A and B are shown apart, each in its own frame.
Chain A
Amino acid sequence: MTTETWHPVSRLDVLPRDRAVPALVDDHQLAVVRLADDRVFAVDHRDPFSGAHVIARGIVGSATVDGVEVPTLTSPMFKQVFDLRTGRCLVDDSKRLATWDVRLRDGMIEVRPRASGAAEDQPEVAS
Chain B
Amino acid sequence: MSEVAQHVVVIGGGMVAHRFVEALRSRDESGRWQVTVVAEEPRPPYDRVALTTYFTGRDPEDLHLGDDALWQDPKVSLRKGIRAVAIDRDGRHVTLATGETLAYDHLVLATGSYAAVPPVEGSDLQGCFVYRTIDDVAALRGYVEALRREHPDRPVRGAVVGGGLLGLEAAGALRELGAQSTVVEFAPRLMPLQVDDGGGAQLRSLIEALDVTVRTDTATAKVLGARRGLVTGMRFADGSDLDVDVVIFATGVRPRDELGRGAGLAVGERGGVVVDSDCSTTDAAISAIGEVACIDGRVWGLVAPGYAMAEVVADRMLGGTATFPGADSSTKLKLLGVDVASFGDAFATAPGCLEVVYADAVAGVYKKLVVSDDARTLLGGILVGDASSYAALRPLVGSELAADPSAYLVPDSGGLPAGDDLPDEATVCSCNNVSAAQIRGAVTDDGCCSLAEVKGCTKAGTSCGSCLPLVKKLTDTALEAAGVAVSRGLCEHFELTRAELFNAVQVTGARTFSEIVERHGRGRGCDICKPVVASILASLYGGHILDGEQGTLQDTNDHMLANLQKDGTYSVVPRIPGGEVTPEGLIEIGRIAKDFDLYTKITGGQRIDMFGARVEQLPLIWRRLVDAGFESGHAYGKSLRTVKSCVGQTWCRYGVQDSVAMAIRLELRYRGLRSPHKLKLGVSGCARECAEARGKDAGVIATDKGWNLYVGGNGGFTPRHAQLLAEDLDDEGLIRAIDRFFVYYIRTADRLQRTAPWLEELPGGIDHLREVVLDDALGIAADLDAAMEQHVSSYSDEWRDVLEDPEKLARFTSFVNAADVPDPSLRYEQERGQRRPVLVAGERIEVRR
Name A's B-contacting residues (CB within 8 A): 8-10, 15-19, 21-24, 27, 29, 32, 35-36, 46, 49-54, 57-64, 69, 71-72, 74, 76-81, 91
Which A residues touch B514, using CB under 8 A?
Answer: 36
Q: How many A-B residue pairs have CB under 8 A?
A: 125
Which B residues touch A46, using CB under 8 A?
Answer: 825
- Asked whether B209 is an interface residue with its Cβ less than 8 Å from the other chain, the reply is no
Complex alpha-carbon distance, A23 and B839, angstroms: 21
CB <8 Å contact, B818 and A24: yes
Determine which of A32, A57, A76, A78 lies in contact with B816 in the assembled complex, contact meaning CB atoms within 8 Å. Answer: A32
Known: A22-B815, A79-B527. 10 other contacts (CB 8 A): A17-B549, A19-B552, A22-B816, A23-B816, A52-B842, A58-B556, A61-B493, A61-B530, A62-B525, A76-B564
CB <8 Å contact, A24 and B848: no
Which B residues touch A51, using CB under 8 A?
Answer: 839-843
Which B residues touch A53, using CB under 8 A?
Answer: 568, 823, 825
Which B residues touch A22, using CB under 8 A?
Answer: 814-816
CB <8 Å contact, A9 and B825: no
A-B contacts, 16 of them at CB < 8 A, read A16-B552, A22-B816, A23-B815, A32-B816, A35-B524, A53-B568, A54-B564, A57-B556, A57-B559, A59-B527, A61-B524, A63-B523, A63-B526, A64-B523, A79-B848, A80-B848
Complex alpha-carbon distance, A63 and B560, angstroms: 25
Complex alpha-carbon distance, A58 and B568, angstroms: 12
Name the residue on B nearest A37 (C-beta): B524
CB <8 Å contact, A74 and B527: yes
Complex alpha-carbon distance, A50 and B176, angstroms: 57
Which A residues touch B531, using CB under 8 A?
Answer: 59
Name the residue on A nearest B840 (C-beta): A51
- Asked whether B845 is an interface residue with its Cβ less than 8 Å from the other chain, the reply is yes
Name the residue on A nearest B557 (C-beta): A76
Which B residues touch A64, using CB under 8 A?
Answer: 492, 523
Complex alpha-carbon distance, A17 and B566, angstroms: 27
Q: How far is the CB of B522 from chain A (nearest CB, A)?
A: 8
Determine which of A57, A59, A77 lies in contact with B526 in the assembled complex, contact meaning CB atoms within 8 Å. Answer: A59
Within 520-536 of B, Cβ neighbours of A (below 8 Å) are at: 523-527, 529-531
Name the residue on B nearest A72 (C-beta): B526
- Asked whether B567 is an interface residue with its Cβ less than 8 Å from the other chain, the reply is yes
CB contact under 8 A between A18 and B551, given known A53-B568, A54-B556, A78-B845: no
Which B residues touch A23, using CB under 8 A?
Answer: 815-818
CB <8 Å contact, A15 and B848: no
Complex alpha-carbon distance, A74 and B839, angstroms: 21
- Asked whether B555 is an interface residue with its Cβ less than 8 Å from the other chain, the reply is yes
CB <8 Å contact, A18 and B841: no
Which A residues touch B823, using CB under 8 A?
Answer: 29, 53
CB <8 Å contact, A60 and B552: yes
**Contact code string B558-574 (vs A, CB < 8 Å = 1, else 0):** 01100010111000000
Name B's A-contacting residues (CB within 8 A): 492-493, 514, 523-527, 529-531, 549, 551-556, 559-560, 564, 566-568, 814-818, 821, 823-825, 839-843, 845-848
CB <8 Å contact, A59 and B845: no
CB <8 Å contact, B824 and A58: no
Q: How far is the CB of A96 from chain B (nearest CB, A)?
A: 15
Q: How far is the CB of B399 from chain A (nearest CB, A)?
A: 46
Name the residue on A nearest B810 (C-beta): A14
Most B Cβ at <10 Å: residue of A9, A58, A61, A71: A61
CB <8 Å contact, B524 and A36: yes
Complex alpha-carbon distance, A62 and B529, angstroms: 11
Which B residues touch A27, using CB under 8 A?
Answer: 824
CB <8 Å contact, B816 and A10: yes
Complex alpha-carbon distance, A97 and B554, angstroms: 22
Complex alpha-carbon distance, A77 and B843, angstroms: 12
CB <8 Å contact, A15 and B566: no
Name the residue on A nearest B560 (C-beta): A57
CB <8 Å contact, A77 and B564: yes
Q: How far is the CB of A116 from chain B (nearest CB, A)?
A: 21
CB contact under 8 A between A52 and B566, given known A15-B816, A74-B527: yes
Name the residue on B nearest A73 (C-beta): B527
CB <8 Å contact, A17 and B816: no
CB <8 Å contact, B524 and A62: yes
CB contact under 8 A between A49 and B492, given known A57-B560, A61-B525: no
Which A residues touch B817, using CB under 8 A?
Answer: 8-10, 23-24
CB <8 Å contact, B848 and A78: yes
Q: How far is the CB of A18 from chain B (nearest CB, A)?
A: 5
Determine which of B549, B553, B566 lies in contact with A59 in the assembled complex, contact meaning CB atoms within 8 Å. Answer: B553
Which A residues touch B842, using CB under 8 A?
Answer: 49-52
Q: How far is the CB of A113 from chain B (nearest CB, A)?
A: 16
* 5 pairs of A and B residues whose beta carbons are closest in the complex: A51-B842, A52-B568, A76-B556, A62-B524, A74-B527
Which A residues touch B848, using CB under 8 A?
Answer: 78-80, 91
Name the residue on A nearest B513 (C-beta): A18
Complex alpha-carbon distance, A98 and B819, angstroms: 23
CB <8 Å contact, A50 and B815: no
CB <8 Å contact, B527 and A61: yes
Complex alpha-carbon distance, A29 and B526, angstroms: 24
Which A residues touch B554, using CB under 8 A?
Answer: 59
Q: How far is the CB of B239 from chain A (nearest CB, A)?
A: 80
Q: How far is the CB of A68 from chain B (nearest CB, A)?
A: 11
CB <8 Å contact, A50 and B551: no
CB <8 Å contact, A63 and B492: yes
Complex alpha-carbon distance, A50 and B555, angstroms: 17
Complex alpha-carbon distance, A69 and B841, angstroms: 32
Complex alpha-carbon distance, A107 and B61, angstroms: 70
CB <8 Å contact, A71 and B530: no
Which A residues touch B526, using CB under 8 A?
Answer: 59, 61-63, 72, 74, 81
Determine which of B549, B815, B841, B846 lies in contact with A24 in the assembled complex, contact meaning CB atoms within 8 Å. Answer: B815
CB contact under 8 A between A21 and B568, given known A59-B555, A79-B848, A81-B527: no
Which B residues touch A78, using CB under 8 A?
Answer: 845-848
Complex alpha-carbon distance, A58 and B840, angstroms: 21
Name the residue on B nearest A17 (C-beta): B552
CB <8 Å contact, B821 and A24: yes
Complex alpha-carbon distance, A46 and B842, angstroms: 10
CB <8 Å contact, B523 and A61: yes
Which B residues touch A35, using CB under 8 A?
Answer: 524
